[in-house]
Amino acid sequence: MAFQTEDCAVTRLEKLQPVELLECYSSAQHHLGFYINVAVTATYTLPRCSQPLKNYIYKACKILIGQHPILSAIPVGEDTDEPHFIHVPTINLDNSVLFKDRQCGSHGSNSPLSPDSDMDLEELLNIQHNMPFSFPFPFWRLYILTDPNHPHLFTAFFIFHHTIEDSTSGMAFHKTFLHALHLVLSSPPFSSEVENTITAPNIPLLPSLEALHLILVLILFLLLILFKEKIWNKQDPCLWTGSKITMLLQSEIHHLVLSESETTFFRDLCCKNRTTIMAALYTLIAGALFINLSVHYTQLQCVGALSNW
C-alpha cells in the first residue's frame, strides 16, 4: 500500500526529460545497490560571523537551488526500461543539509603518525556512501562537519546520485557554493529566522550528452560483444575478478592524504607521460593488487570515468 501511495505521488509531479543511456548506467547501479552515490568535499573558512553558521549555509543553498534545476530533479523508475526525471517543487533543507560536530579534534591534529589524516571525514564517508537516496527527498545531501574549537571553519560534503551529477560538477557545486557564501556574507544583515523550505524554480534541465552529440555504436562492435557473451564466453583464467558480489554491498572507505606538493608533482608527472591522473591511479592500484595476489593472476580490468583531472 505504501508503494502505491508513493507511485501516485510521483505521477502527480511534473515529468521532465528521460534518463538517457549514460545516465541509466548510474541509475541502474544505484537501484541495485552497487554504486550508491558520489561525494566531493571541501573545507571552508569564513570570517567572524554574527549569526549561527547554519543561517549562512541555508541562505547559500537557497541561491544554488534557484540557479541549478538539477538540484530539484529526481530520477524515478530506476527499475524500469524508461527511467525519467521529475521536478520536486519544494525542498526542505532540514532533510538535505545536515550538521555534525567533529569528535576527533580539529582537522590535521588527529594522528601523530599522519598529521593530515581526518578520521571524522573517513567515518562520515563510510556512513554516507552506504546510504541510498529515495523519493520524495532530493537526490543529494550537504553534510556540514563543524569544528567546536573553530566556529568559522567547516568541511562540506556534497553527496549526490551519480545520475544528476559527476565528480567534475561536484567540484562546480563547491565553487558556486563558495560564491553564494560570499554573496550572503557581503549582503545587509538579515533576520535570524532563516527559511528552511525552498521553492524550486521550474527551469528546464540542461540537455544530456546524447542530445548534444551524436553517439554512434558500430555494428561490428555490437557483433563482437554478442559473440563474446553468447558464443565464446570463456573467462581468461589469468584474469583476477575478485570474490563473488553478494547483497547487500557495504562500501568501506579509507582515504589517503597527499600534500599539495606531492599532488602537483604527480599531476605534472602524468602530463609529462601524456596520461591522465585517473589512468595513473588505476595503474598504481593494479600494481598494488598484483603484489598481494597469487602469481597465477596477470590481468585486471578497471572500469571508471575517463576523467581529465
Q: Tell if the pTM clears 0.85, that is, is over it.
A: no
In contact, 163 and 30? CB cutoff 8 Å = yes
Q: What is the C-alpha separation between 21 and 34, in angstroms, rounded?
A: 18
Architecture of the domain whose range is 2-212: 2-Layer Sandwich (3.30)
Would you list the DSSP string of 35-95? ---EEEEEEEEPPP-SS-HHHHHHHHHHHHHHH-GGGGEEEE-TTSSS-EEEE-SEEEHHH
For residue range 4-34, what is the model confidence (pLDDT) as tens digits? 455 666 667 778 888 887 788 888 888 888 8
For residue 113, the model assigns a pLDDT of: 38
For residue 110, the model assigns a pLDDT of: 43
pLDDT under 70: residue ranges of the chain: 1-11, 105-116, 217-218, 304-309
For residue 145, the model assigns a pLDDT of: 94
In contact, 148 and 102? CB cutoff 8 Å = yes
For residue range 197-235, what is the model confidence (pLDDT) as tens digits? 999 888 888 888 778 877 776 677 778 888 877 777 777
For the chain, domain boundaries = 2-212, 235-292
